[in-house]
Amino acid sequence: MKIISRIEQSLAAAIAMGEDATCPPKLAGAIRHAVFPGGARIRPQLCLAVAHACGDDDPLLSDATAVAIELLHCASLVHDDLPCFDNAATRRGRASVQWAYGPSLAVLAGDALIVRAFQTLAICAQNSPLRLGGLMLTVGEGVGTPRGIVAGQAWESEARVNLGDYQRAKTGALFVAATAGGAQAAGADPAPWRAMGEWLGEAYQVADDIRDVAADPALLGKPVGRDVVLGRPSAAIELGLGGALAHFKHLIAAASESVPDCRGAAQLRALVAAESERLVPVAMAEALTRRVQAESVAAT
């Protein structure tokens, strides 16, 4: 089965487990809206690619780990779109959950998704119960305090922020959970896989910052220029567009080099390259570089 079909099927099964006649229908609708249709599903793809490279001896648990990470990512997007944060009306090219269902149900859908992530791990660890505790800690680290997504979002409420700490928590931590968790689900040592998640997570955040100031809103599926409007830390603001583009290339190269020697190394490097092209297409990078050069000439 193709990796993306495997992810969508596992997500559908996990969400269906929380639904029955006793579930409030609007909440069930808001949860589905938050998860389907998805974005690029890059975190679960990464998780399954690493699990595969490590032997994937318990596919049920690998799938559950990928699902848990994607559900936590969806939860963070739903809460991030709330009026008290971005107040976003759109997400993935259509109405955000808070816009379609209201902020109360958006808060609850996010909460339910966090719980469902851990429930999915517990349900699917039946064949390898001794892996559950470590896996939960890896996943929990990616999302909770002191250095997970929640902490990353909370840095936006602080007057002084270190850009690296902020990006590592807001984006990097869940990428680390994806790579390290993928290894752990397959019974492997997660430590050698952390670096890949760290580099990719930072690359992803820098790409997001670049796209926020540079991209066409129709392509992005959400409003652009929000970082400037909301005063959020941004690599594209801190390093300039040219500096951010160079940094992105460096991070992608480091992610590729960090892949440990293993059966699936070539496949993983191909995934990194494809992701780089998806995030900042070469044509876009060239156009932005020309823009930076033209602006620099105009300024002198």
SS3 258: coil
Residue from 6, 12, 13, 18 in contact with a copy of itself (CB under 8 A): 18
Is 77 near a copy of itself (CB under 8 A)?
Answer: no
- Are the beta carbons of 237 and 167 closer than 8 angstroms? no
Q: What's the gap between Cα 168 and its chain centre? A: 12
Is 132 near a copy of itself (CB under 8 A)?
Answer: yes
Size of the site for a copy of itself (CB under 8 A): 60
The window from 39-47, 59-67, 129-137, 270-278 that contacts a copy of itself (CB under 8 A) reads 129-137
Is 267 near a copy of itself (CB under 8 A)?
Answer: no
CB of 177 vs a copy of itself, minimal distance in Å? 12
- Are the beta carbons of 64 and 120 closer than 8 angstroms? yes
Q: Give the x/- contact pattern for a copy of itself in 106-125, rule: CB under 8 A.
A: -xx-xxx-xxx-xx-xxx-x
Residue from 155, 175, 193, 204 in contact with a copy of itself (CB under 8 A): 155
Render 148-201 in DSSP notation, one character per residue: SHHHHHHGGGSSS--HHHHHIIIIIHHHHHHHHHHHHHTT--SGGGHHHHHHHH
Within 10 A of 250 (CB to CB), how many other CB atoms are there?
Answer: 14
Within 10 A of 215 (CB to CB), how many other CB atoms are there?
Answer: 18
Task: Tell me whether residue 28 or residue 292 sits nearer to a copy of itself (CB atom).
Answer: 28
CB of 126 vs a copy of itself, minimal distance in Å? 7
Contacts of 33 by beta carbon, 8 Å cutoff, 6+ apart: 97, 100, 101, 109
Is 192 near a copy of itself (CB under 8 A)?
Answer: no
By CB under 8 A, name the binding residues for a copy of itself: 18-20, 22-28, 31, 75, 79, 82-85, 102-105, 107-108, 110-112, 114-116, 118-119, 121-123, 125-126, 129-130, 132-134, 136-137, 140, 143-148, 150-151, 153-158, 165, 169
